[in-house]
Amino acid sequence: MKRAADLRARRARWLSLALLLLVLVAVGVTSDAPSPKESTPVLDESALMQATFDEASIVAPTTIEQLQARIAAVLEREGVPGVGLALVDSEGLRWAGGVGVADLRTGRSVDADTQFRVASITKSVVALGVMRLVEQGRLELDQPLRELMPGVVPPSAWDSAAPVTLAHALEHTAGFDDMRLNEWYAEEGLAPRDALAINPRSRVARWQPGSRMSYSNPGYTIAGHAIELATGGTWNDYLEREVLRPLGMPTARFRRTPEFADRLATGYVGPAEAAVFRPIAHAPAGALLSSPRELAGLVRFWLRPGEEAAIVGPDSLARIERTATVPYRGPDTNYGLGNYGDVLHPVRARGHDGGLPGFLSCYRYFPDLGVGYVMLLNATHSPRAYVEIRALLFAYLTAGMRPLPRPPSAEPDPEAVAAATGYYGYASPRSELFGFIERATVGFRVRPDPGGIELEALLGGRTIPLVPTGDGGYRHAREGGTSIRLTTDAEGRRILAAGMAYLEAGPYAWARGRLLALQGALALIQLAPLWALGWALVAGIRRLRGRVLAPGEVALHAWPAAAGLAFMAMPILLMQIVRREAFTTATPLSIGLCVCTLVFAACSAAAVAEAVRAAVGRSLPLAARLVPSAAACACFGMTLYLLWHGIIGLRIWAW
């Protein structure tokens, strides 16, 4: 009997020591975790559109030299190597050039002809090509894709009532998920149909097509395939011949070529951290390489429609700027065909942005002012540089135009505000893999405000006052147009449309309760290893004084701690996978993430079993088992939550 007791005591000491080491390792690993500001490889940086900047405080540069000096100061402060710029007015190109360097290694300067990966600006070119074919009767925007390209879009429950059309794909209203992780990169020159075959699951309609917008890059690969079906040639040859060259873009292209290799800028994902050039699988969504001088031709085209290259007629141009596949009126940030609105400037603008590792791009034109700009950054780690340089460009272009047109405004309508008051939860996640996190954390309460309405964020409780613009529209006081619209969908449900986001009315108590439950569970899960560490230290001291551990006491603390460590390792592994872009195939990191989710689930099950055993056996007083038991329940509940959303056992390379 004594021998068995000694064996248990030695085992308890070893388990305590192992637990202590595990916690110390976890603390060390966590301190080395990459910053959340690390760049992620996406084809669109639409999140940047949510940034706010008080442009009224900008003192306008009066000369190009002053503008360049002010921009150089921003680049130096933010650690951004360089930026390519073009300024355009109704007369044509006013100025094109650059500030900073295109490559830190060689010191090569950015100039008007330096080429950048302009990413999702590619969509603007694709949309022009599609509309040219529509005008010629070779494509139809409203033709169901199952007829145009059988087998490319998986069947959905809405095929009979609302089949997915080419217009849905171009407006991001098809209900598609965004690119799955294993279809981000591929060999250069991959045909659209082959890219679409990599993972058809990204093109399953998640809700009725035409009911809401959710940004989805594969929709433009579908458009590229449609161009090939209509022309019998390749999508890139057609667009270069029929769109780029008429726009005055003689060297812009959709893949790297040796003759222009020395003109391509190097992108940076962090200060002095160069990005690797990886060709994207969905090339029609973001493969364009172009310079600021050449992209100025696209801006000039929109400032003088019909007077420049006769690519499409006025009706097609109006259609490109209009959202036509949803049954409700959207805000001024509406997405048309490769073209959307921007209200972050004091005057409404249109254009498109783009983002790839190391590159941020933006072009804007202001129809009411007759001016526009191109901004191409070769770094992705500084949103601040993005918004500040945009503000400087706008200030310079409009320096002699004061006063500027006033933003839309209307008198508050108390009845309309009362009808719209309530909670609205996010209902259009771009990526379904982590959409459950956005649904649980993103939402707003709409409340009356003396000047209009007030939005209160579900997470953090931040309040945002908005002023009315009419017909259910509202804007921030610094915005140049309507940024949200409170309206109803085709079935009469209350919705909030905000740029590329769609929120539906729902019960606030449920949303708040779910968020609090998740926050509480996360706190307990992260507390478990630290609590176990404290217990191990105290238990070790007591053991030296002769106290014998109760049966199951070590397991009661060890299993929740192990589950907590596994849980904390999951986001660290995921950030490393994204940072190293190690998600297209099975790698030690991605396999490790899969194993980590399974370990978390197994440890959580063991933890709750020990908690139940301790409660039934009453081997410890309630005060001693309260925290580890609560942590065990939190771990097990989180396991069920993650299992329901497909995270437990996630094979990220095959998702």
Residue 360 has pLDDT above 90, yes or no: yes
pLDDT at 259: 85
pLDDT at 543: 78
Map residue 111 onto helix, strand or coil: coil
How many Cβ atoms from other residues are within 10 Å of residue 295's Cβ? 30
Distance of alpha carbon 268 from alpha carbon 582, whole angstroms: 18
For residues 183 and 281, the answer to whether their CB atoms sit within 8 Å is yes
Distance of alpha carbon 350 from alpha carbon 285, whole angstroms: 18
Q: What is the mean pLDDT of residues 57-67?
A: 91
Q: Has this prediction a pTM greater than 0.85?
A: yes
The tokens describing 222, both together, are 């579908």
pLDDT at 545: 78
Read off the pLDDT of residues 428-466 as tens digits, 9 standing for 90 and up: 999 999 999 999 999 999 999 999 999 999 999 999 999
368: left (phi over 0), alpha (psi -120 to 50) or beta: alpha
Q: Could you give the maximum distance between any two Cα atoms of the chain, in Å?
A: 98
Q: What is the mean pLDDT of residues 378-394?
A: 95
For residues 136 and 186, the answer to whether their CB atoms sit within 8 Å is no
Residue 148 has pLDDT above 70, yes or no: yes
Map residue 589 onto helix, strand or coil: helix
pLDDT at 32: 33
CA 616 to chain centre: 48
For residues 380 and 59, the answer to whether their CB atoms sit within 8 Å is no
Residue 177 has pLDDT above 80, yes or no: yes
Which amino acid, 476? Answer: H
Residue 628 has pLDDT above 60, yes or no: yes
The tokens describing 423, both together, are 């909670």
Residue 559 contacts by C-beta under 8 Å, 6 or more apart in sequence? 603, 604, 606, 607, 610, 632
For residues 528 and 19, the answer to whether their CB atoms sit within 8 Å is no
How many Cβ atoms from other residues are within 10 Å of residue 462's Cβ? 10
For residues 99 and 72, the answer to whether their CB atoms sit within 8 Å is yes
CA distances from 79 to 106, 230, 269, 271, 382 (A): 17, 46, 11, 6, 8
Residue 309 contacts by C-beta under 8 Å, 6 or more apart in sequence? 246, 247, 248, 297, 301
Q: Which of 99, 116, 93 is nearest to 360 (CA)?
A: 116
Residue 517 contacts by C-beta under 8 Å, 6 or more apart in sequence? 637
Q: Binning pLDDT at 50, 70 and 90, where does residue 533 land? A: very high
pLDDT at 402: 79
Q: What is the CA radius of gyration of the chain?
A: 28
Q: Binning pLDDT at 50, 70 and 90, where does residue 18 land? A: very low
Q: What is the mean pLDDT of the chain?
A: 90
What single-letter DSSP state applies at residue 585? S
pLDDT at 315: 94
Q: What is the mean pLDDT of residues 501-518?
A: 97
For 458, phi then psi, to 5°, come to -60, -45
Q: What is the mean pLDDT of residues 367-380?
A: 97
CA distances from 384 to 33, 79, 92, 180, 266 (A): 23, 11, 29, 29, 20
List the single range of 37-51, 294-308, 318-332, 553-567 with lowest mean pLDDT.
37-51
CA distances from 409 to 405, 452, 467, 569 (A): 12, 10, 7, 49
Residue 238 has pLDDT above 60, yes or no: yes
Q: What is the mean pLDDT of residues 89-93?
A: 92
Distance of alpha carbon 540 from alpha carbon 264, whole angstroms: 62
Distance of alpha carbon 617 from alpha carbon 12, whole angstroms: 19
| HSE-CB for 606 with a 13 A CA cutoff | 18
Q: What is the mean pLDDT of residues 590-617?
A: 95
Residue 563 has pLDDT above 90, yes or no: yes
Distance in angstroms between the alpha carbons of the first and the last residue of the chain: 54
Q: Which of 607, 596, 529, 588 is nearest to 569 (CA)?
A: 596
Output 20 or 650, whichever has higher pLDDT: 650
Q: What is the mean pLDDT of residues 7-30?
A: 39
Read off the pLDDT of residues 267-325 as tens digits, 9 standing for 90 and up: 999 999 999 999 999 999 999 999 999 999 999 999 987 666 689 999 999 999 999 99
Domains of the chain: 18-39+519-654 (no CATH), 94-397 (3.40.710.10), 414-506 (2.40.128)
Residue 15 has pLDDT above 80, yes or no: no
pLDDT at 53: 60
Distance of alpha carbon 394 from alpha carbon 398, whole angstroms: 6
Cis check: omega of the bond before 403, within 30 degrees of 0: yes
Q: Which residues pair with 220 in a beta bridge?
A: none
Q: Binning pLDDT at 50, 70 and 90, where does residue 16 land? A: very low
| HSE-CB for 481 with a 13 A CA cutoff | 19
pLDDT at 550: 81
Output 7 or 226, whichever has higher pLDDT: 226
